[in-house]
Amino acid sequence: MRNNIDQIKLDDRVILITGAGDGIGRAVALDCAKRGATVILLGKTIHKLEKVYDEIIAAGGPQPAIYPMDLAGATADNYNELHDNIEKEFGKLDALLNNAGWLGASTPMEIFDTELWYRIMQVNLNAPFLLTKACLPLIKKSSHGSIVFTADPKTSAYWGAYGVAKSGQQTLMTILADELESKHIMVNAFDPGPVRTSFRTRAYPAEDPTNLTKPEAVSGGFVYLISGDCSGITGKTFTLEDFK
């Protein structure tokens, strides 16, 4: 499948990527733009998004769009406004990558701070739902619509709200895939495994990052899932091995 991914072109596709300021989101945004896609960069840190924007322009990619949004505090009205802005500027959305995530804290359930729990669930579960719901009318206008989630199964001790939210996100993916199959919208997830990101460093501070896979090495899997090339494949969780 690796050779097929290398040949994928994304000309005329409009792709929204959350957490686009660094790590996996940045790598996928740069890869998509290199293949001709117009990328909407969504994140909470504007200077990071601006840096990715400049990298895309310097590489000769289509002009991206920057959309600052703090998922922890965003309301349903904010997501409706995002829908309206995308519809006004682009008229459609071909793919959505729900990639943004926030660990919060690794804490035993017994002493987990309630307010922190709500905040982590908001970023990692409620936000992907609200964003997907807001974007669905736009994705239905695409001839090859795609919704992708970054999977990260964490079901052991101390993963707390993050682990619960990612499990919920996985179920959200499978339910959406079943509901949207007749609409020809592909809904999948990709678990890239351990990747050298700032998120990974916060979760495993004692780990040697030089032994981890770089974000650029996993971007191709995401590209495949948000391209029209994955037509007919839905409700599946991929791993890095699937793309080798």
Is the pTM here over 0.75, yes or no?
yes
Residue 98 in this model has a pLDDT that exceeds 60 = yes
Q: Which active-site residues does the annotation give?
A: 162
Amino acid at 239: T
Q: Which two tokens stand for residue 166?
A: 């990612």
Distance CA 56, CA 62 (A): 7
> In 10 A of CB 216, how many CB atoms?
15
Q: Higher confidence at residue 232 or residue 178?
A: 178
pLDDT digits (tens, 9 = 90+) for 113-159: 999 999 999 999 999 999 999 999 999 999 999 999 999 999 999 99
pLDDT digits (tens, 9 = 90+) for 21-71: 999 999 999 999 999 999 999 999 999 999 999 999 999 999 999 999 999
Domains detected in the chain? 2-243 (3.40.50.720)
- pLDDT bracket for residue 2 (50, 70, 90): low
- Paired with 97 in beta bridges are 17, 148
| CA-to-CA dists, residue 169 to 32, 103, 232, angstroms | 24, 14, 21
Residue 228 in this model has a pLDDT that exceeds 90 = no
